């Protein structure tokens, strides 16, 4: 018997997408705080502590769960949207930056998906949104955000978002190495670790980052073409000057640029 609410949906748009979720009377969808774009009359929302997947869990159990969420930098509250109307009603959620939204049917991927901590957008009530620590030292020290991953568990639909274009890879015992920021999600049959990217010269001058995420095993891997961190770096690099000084001028190249510009 399915534990999660069975929701219908439609993804709208191309590069800056919205997922429109259709709720039958009494159905609920949960979402990260601030993700809602619009909703129809008859839908009410309430901020609650936790994802509501275990309604019988006591206060301290819920407090422990939300404490783990706080470690990922997310709000300890999630917003629950419920259709209290007489017919079908729709509520829409949008990603916070340009990219794609991908629906995941958790029942068809083994009931569990691990994803980057900011990839989760919304899911049917009954989906458990937790965290998973990477136990390996390599992933811990050099994985950056990849050290703490969000874990989505259940048998309903969940939605993740990422920057640029989303790519889905099916591994059957192969090894895939990717930029740590390009990894969005992977199923539980995948082993995840961080490895050094080549020799020292390649690490410092290759422009591809010092470490790569290594994925081995059998399952599904979801990648993004434009991590938000990469987009933000480019924006900051071309940001207008503040008080006559360029952003990021503390670097060696920034100082050389100031001398060439006559600012030295």
pLDDT score for 235: 81
pLDDT score for 95: 84
Ordered DSSP codes for the chain: ---S---EEEEE-SSB-EEEEEE-TT-EEEEETT-EEEE-TTEEEEEEES-SS-TT--HHHHHHHHHHHHHTT--SEEEEEEE-SSS-EEEEEE-SSSEEEEEEEGGGTTTEEEE-TTTEEEEETT-EEEEEE--SHHHHHH-GGGGEEEEEESSSEEEEEEES-EEEEEEEEEEEEEEGGGEEEEETTEEEEEEE-SSHHHHHHSSS-SEEEEEEEEEEEEEESS-HHHHHHHHHHTPPPBTTB-TTTTSHHHHHHHHHTT--
pLDDT score for 170: 94
pLDDT score for 84: 96
pLDDT score for 253: 43
pTM, full prediction: 0.77
pLDDT score for 37: 95
pLDDT in tens, 92-109: 999 888 889 999 999 998
pLDDT score for 241: 61
Segments in the chain below pLDDT 70:
1-2, 54-75, 133-147, 197-210, 241-264
Fold of domain 8-231: Double-stranded beta-helix (3.60.160)
pLDDT score for 15: 79
pLDDT score for 180: 80
Domain ranges of the chain: 8-231
pLDDT score for 250: 44
């Amino acid at each position: 018997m399915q534990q999660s609410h069975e929701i219908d949906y439609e993804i709208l748009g191309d590069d800056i997408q919205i997922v429109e979720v259709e709720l039958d009377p009494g159905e609920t969808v949960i979402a990260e705080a601030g993700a809602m774009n619009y909703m129809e009359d008859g839908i009410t929302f309430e901020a609650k502590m936790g994802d509501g997947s275990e309604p019988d869990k006591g206060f301290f159990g819920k407090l422990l769960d939300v404490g783990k969420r706080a470690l990922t930098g997310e709000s300890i509250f999630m917003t629950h949207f419920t259709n209290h109307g007489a017919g079908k009603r729709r509520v829409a959620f949008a990603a916070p930056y340009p990219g794609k939204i991908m629906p995941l049917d958790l029942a068809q991927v083994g009931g569990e998906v691990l994803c980057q901590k900011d990839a989760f957008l919304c899911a049917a009530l009954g989906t458990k949104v937790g965290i998973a620590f990477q136990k390996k030292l390599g992933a811990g020290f050099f994985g950056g955000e990849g050290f703490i991953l969000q874990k989505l568990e259940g048998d309903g639909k969940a939605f993740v978002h990422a920057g640029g274009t989303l790519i889905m890879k099916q591994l059957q015992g192969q090894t895939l190495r990717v930029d740590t920021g390009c990894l969005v999600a992977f199923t539980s049959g995948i082993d995840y670790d961080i490895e050094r990217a080549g020799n020292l010269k390649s690490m410092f001058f290759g422009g591809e980052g010092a470490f790569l995420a290594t994925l081995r095993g059998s399952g599904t891997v979801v990648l993004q073409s434009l991590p938000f961190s990469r987009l933000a770096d480019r924006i900051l690099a071309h940001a207008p000057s503040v008080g006559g000084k360029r952003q990021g001028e503390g670097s060696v190249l920034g100082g050389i640029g100031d001398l060439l510009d006559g600012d030295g």
